[in-house]
Amino acid sequence: MAPTSRPTVFITGAAAGIGRATALQFARRGYVVGAYDIEEEGLGSLREEILAQGGRARTGILDVTDTDEWSVRLAEFASGGSRLDVLVNNAGVLSSGHFEDIPLEAHRRMVDINVLGTINGLHAAFPYLKETPGAHVVNLASASAIYGQPELATYSATKFAVRGLTEALELEWRGHDIRVLDVWPLFVRTGMIRGMSIGSTRSLGVRLTAEDVAEAIVDATQSRRRFPKVHYPVGVQARVLAASARMSPGWLARLSNKVLSRV
């Protein structure tokens, strides 16, 4: 990609859902968008949509568990310069149900993509982020990182890991002028939860769209607050749950979670 004075964003899991909506939101705000996924067809239609709106985009196949692919795709995107204003670690997978009923391979896949994929991206992108004044990292966590979720046990655990990474690097990378944050949506109306029916979804419903989360992501990177937040719950329900968890004693948070999860 030729050198540009326009801000740039690199998004994983961009072919559909939250990633796609985020790519479109950034494109509308004048960013050069790097959109990456394992789904080539979805990336092609996304690129056409961005170009039709007068934006600039580069797409490519990226398996976030593959460190070599991370290196290649980032080098391609930043060719001719080293600018990377925003990295959005969005790629993720979810398997729901009783822990023992989910195949072990599905548990491993969630850890590989949701956790190791994020670590791979952070590690590979660091040289580009530190060369870009005011760079941002947005990690996709979840409201399931507030308290461990029944029927989402391993998924919830992976999002706790993302939360921990975010909190640690927010402190560690301040000296490099890199801001690290995460977003905490509750259930979002995307293909990830198609066909899912667990206690939490029956209690709380599915009230968020991919566009809601995308807007929260973009807005979080534009914050000019003196003391910006690290965690961004998305939607009223997630904000209430996060506030309740902060203020409630442990036993009450556990009881509330048990009631909402219907276990």
Residues annotated as part of the active site: 155
Rounded to the nearest 5 degrees, what angle is found at the Cα of 158, between the Cα atoms of 156 and 163?
Answer: 95
- Do 152 and 97 form a contact (C-beta atoms < 8 A)? no
Q: Whole-angstrom Cα distance, residue 2 to residue 201? A: 45
- Do 155 and 114 form a contact (C-beta atoms < 8 A)? yes
Contacts of 261 (CB under 8 A, 6+ apart): 149, 150, 151, 198, 199, 200, 203
Q: How far is CA 123 from CA 10, 134, 164, in A?
A: 14, 18, 15
Q: How far is CA 225 from CA 71, 132, 201, 222, 254, in A?
A: 33, 20, 34, 9, 33
Contacts of 160 (CB under 8 A, 6+ apart): 145, 148
DSSP-based helix, strand, coil % in the chain, nearest 5? 50, 15, 35
Helix (H, G, I), strand (E, B) or coil at 61: strand
Q: How many helices (H) and strands (E) does the chain have?
A: 10, 7
Place of tokens 């910006």: 228
Q: Whole-angstrom Cα distance, residue 16 to residue 193? A: 13
